[in-house]
């Protein structure tokens, strides 16, 4: 796969649709083999490949930096959690898994309420959905949850006066992520894993035709 031909929009779409439930890569692999890229094209391809392959590691790295920055601000920790959750809802796989688990838990106490949390059925014409499948969380459009959690996190950021702290923490976390992704040499395992996930995505799209 030529990562030089992958645009930033393609990478964001892939990160939004890919399954994030996979565990992070081992630290022995994460912190091995660093080298300076020989050209801008090499750096561009390496950056995109590593951001995709080590996505879970980078996510945990940024969360860890945020937690360290908010040890003295409990409300800021809650705000950071709500912000991360609202961003996670933008991922199709996470939104579907979250909705399924919440609905399953509610069903144990109130089957009638759980029935109302089911997403509406998408009309199908000649074996194909008539419209693009929308993402629902607990029977409500995804944007409702994203808006509610984002608003709550913004309010907590304002109350805790931790906005400047989160900006510094995010800057440090993003800088560490970009530096690692720029100098970490993609190994054969990363390339094979990328090909495997790319094949699954292509095969999924093919099966929906």
Summarised one tens digit per residue, pLDDT across range 29-85 is 888 889 898 888 888 888 888 888 888 899 889 888 877 877 777 787 788 788 888
Scan for tokens 């094209």, then name that residue: 41
pLDDT in tens, 14-31: 666 666 667 888 888 888
104 — pLDDT class (breaks 50, 70, 90): confident
Q: Is 48 exposed, middle or buried (0-12, 13-18, 19+ CB in 10 A)?
A: buried
**Residue 105 has what pLDDT?**
87
C-alpha to C-alpha distances, 2 to 5, 13, 33, 144, 191, nearest whole angstrom? 6, 17, 21, 37, 10
Mean pLDDT of the chain: 77
**Residue 199 has what pLDDT?**
45
* Domain spans in the chain, listed from the N-terminal domain onward: 40-120+135-208
Residue 170 reports pLDDT greater than 70? yes
> Between residues 28 and 131, which one has the greater pLDDT?
28
- 3-state class of 8 per DSSP? helix
| Chain centroid to CA 161 | 26
């Amino acid at each position: 796969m030529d990562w030089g031909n992958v645009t930033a929009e393609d990478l964001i779409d892939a990160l939004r649709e890919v399954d994030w439930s996979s565990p992070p890569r081992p630290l022995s692999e994460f912190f091995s083999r660093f080298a300076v890229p020989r050209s801008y094209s090499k750096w561009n391809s390496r950056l995109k490949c590593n951001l995709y392959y080590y996505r879970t590691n980078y996510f945990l790295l940024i969360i860890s930096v945020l937690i360290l920055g908010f040890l003295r601000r409990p409300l800021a920790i809650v705000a950071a959690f709500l912000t991360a959750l609202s961003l996670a809802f933008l991922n199709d796989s996470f939104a579907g898994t979250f909705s399924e688990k919440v609905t399953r838990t509610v069903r144990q106490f109130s089957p009638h309420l759980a029935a109302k949390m089911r997403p509406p059925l998408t009309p199908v014409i000649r074996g194909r959905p008539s419209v693009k499948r929308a993402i629902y969380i607990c029977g409500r459009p995804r944007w409702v949850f994203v808006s509610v959690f984002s608003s709550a996190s913004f309010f907590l950021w304002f109350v805790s006066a931790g906005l400047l702290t989160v900006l510094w923490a995010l800057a440090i976390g993003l800088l560490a992520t970009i530096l690692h992704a720029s100098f970490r040499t993609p190994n054969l395992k990363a390339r094979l894993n990328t090909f495997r996930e790319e094949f699954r995505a292509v095969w999924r799209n093919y099966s929906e035709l």
